[in-house]
Structure 1
């Protein structure tokens, strides 16, 4: 007997530049276990990453479907860019298909900020989600629906060869220190507010807890645990979404 949507168990995986995190959710986005993590392997090629995921989830409870957030541009489950994992190793990789075959369950892969956005937004108005981690992730949603993904991390900022990733990413934080990094974040926030006129801005990622300045009333800090819950909505809202999402099934 097949599970009804309310009985579905979804393996939700968040691939980051430093760690791979995962948990099992029910259809409401409630965690069925504490989320666990493993270091992102080096080199971070598809084979090593899939091997690490299999190691991470081998003792997880049973699940029916898989949702994956990947740090790069993803089109129909195929990786186009992976700036913090090495695009040359990833471009053209059908990660949906490879993970479906490796783990034996239907798999969807989207940008990591997009998946986090699904997990944290209220579903009202234009909502923007950013992640401050190894790089700079972004997602836009209108009334709870994902809008076409924009890789703002690579958009020139300030100087012609300076991108958001370079300006406020992990390497910039390490090079310039927390105080100067916070000043840079404030400049970026001012640009985002002016350009997007969002109703709410959600701020996630491992470096979000390093912010030292007062946020506007329509800005909210969210956790990785909140974001990984988007794995359930990725499946449940599939038919309603305004963007095409990848669906791969295990090879028979």
Structure 2
């Protein structure tokens, strides 16, 4: 599998959009590394469904590279891949470019500047696709979920330990949107409006919704989106806080909830380069085969170094 370059928008697609003949490319493994937990599953890329139970283990205290790498190795063994050739995608809470982590959210700062993709490949003993966690979740929702066939601009936010963000325009993912770091009232938005902040400050749903209101008001003013999608583990409780928000833009929970990162990482492991062939009917309105500006011949990951 050929590497792609970083920073190019990624058209979303499903397995049915390409000629997939082998079992290994109909399934893939997605691993989602977060500040509090590391999750993984084997995914059916035709349907976007999990073929195995999701395995979740705690993120090691401090989130240091060696500890997270070993935990990921152990998790992959628990998943028991059907083949040594089963594609693996790993998503991570950082800006990812050319396989390097340029930031580190809720994990050790020792990740910053690290050639993280190579570190994971060496530890796992196989090639992987490595991508930002919110980008993976956004890709999943665009290909299989709440943003499928959505016209215009969709903003997906993942509310967890921090806040991740993904921009999807006419079915095309725009990489590395760090929307959790918008400044609101002199603070990073995620320090006040993340689900982690809700738990840290012991906020009621109503009080937390007031903070979310400021955050989504800011996003609405800056981007004029057509749809907001809310992901992360707390999205399973969406009925407790989304109705408390007053916005001009529709806001809905992610269809794949807290599994979106796993699904997106797995899908990008297979379709990171083939997605250039997606037509507008399968990738979302307007996402044509040459939507990357190079007649569909070039496409990339959000740093997702596709092998």
Q: Under a length normalisation based on structure 2, what TM-score does the superposition of the two structures give?
A: 0.72
Q: Residue in 1 aligned with 2:150?
A: 124
- In the alignment, which residue of structure 2 is the partner of 1:91? 112
- String of CA shifts for 1:209-231, please: whole Å, max 9, x gaps: 26424166732112112442212
Match of 1:152 in 2: 179
Displacement after TM superposition at 1:138 (Å): 0.3
Give ranges in structure 2 of 5+ residues lacking alignment: 1-19, 143-147, 277-290, 293-298
How far, CA to CA, are the matches of 2:263 and 2:71 in structure 1?
A: 21
CA displacement at 1:77 relative to structure 2:
1.4
Q: State the alpha-carbon separation in 1 of the partners of residues 273 and 149 from structure 2.
A: 15
Supply the RMSD in Å over aligned alpha carbons: 2.3
Aligned with 1:110 (options 119, 131, 136): 131
Between the aligned partners of 1:183 and 1:169, the Cα distance in structure 2 is 12
Aligned twin of 2:49? 30
Q: 1:158 to 1:79 in 2, by over 3 A?
A: same
The 3 A distance-change label for structure 1 pair 45 and 167 is: same
64, 79, 84: which is aligned to 2:101? 79
Q: Which moved more, 1:136-145 or 1:212-221?
A: 212-221
1:233 paired with 2:267, answer: yes
Question: Secondary structure in 2 aligned to 1:58?
Answer: helix
Task: Choose the corresponding residue for 1:175, options 201, 221, 226.
Answer: 201
Cα distance per residue 1:185-240 (max 9 Å; x no partner): 01211221222122221101123326424166732112112442212331314242
Residues in 2 aligned to 1:184 and 1:40: alpha-carbon distance in whole angstroms: 27
Matching residue within 222, 239, 247 for 2:305: 247
2:77 equivalent in structure 1: 58
Distance in 2 (alpha carbons) for counterparts of 1:201 and 1:98 = 34
Q: Is the 8 A contact 2:242 2:251 kept in 1?
A: no
Alignment of 1:210-225 (within 5 A): 211-214=240-243, 218-222=250-254, 223-225=257-259
* Consecutive unaligned residues in structure 1, runs of 5 or more: none
TM-score between both structures, scaled by the size of structure 1: 0.87
Deviation at 1:140, TM superposition (A): 0.4
Secondary structure at 1:177's aligned position in 2? coil
**Structure 2 residue aligned with 1:41:** 60
Counterpart selection for 2:217 from 190, 199, 203:
190
- Structure 2 counterpart of 1:11, from 29, 52, 55: 29
- The one of the two structures with greater contact order (alpha-carbon pairs below 8 A, sep at least 6) is 2
Distance in 1 (CA, whole Å) between partners of 2:78 and 2:106 is 28
8 Å CA contact retained: 1:116, 1:226? yes
> C-alpha distance in 1, partners of 2:178/2:72?
25
Deviation per residue, 1:94-152 (Å, 9 max, x gap): 22212222223321111111000111121432211101110011000112221132212
User: What do the CA deviations read for 1:11-58 (whole angstroms, capped 9, x no partner)?
Assistant: 101111110000011332332212110000012111100100111121
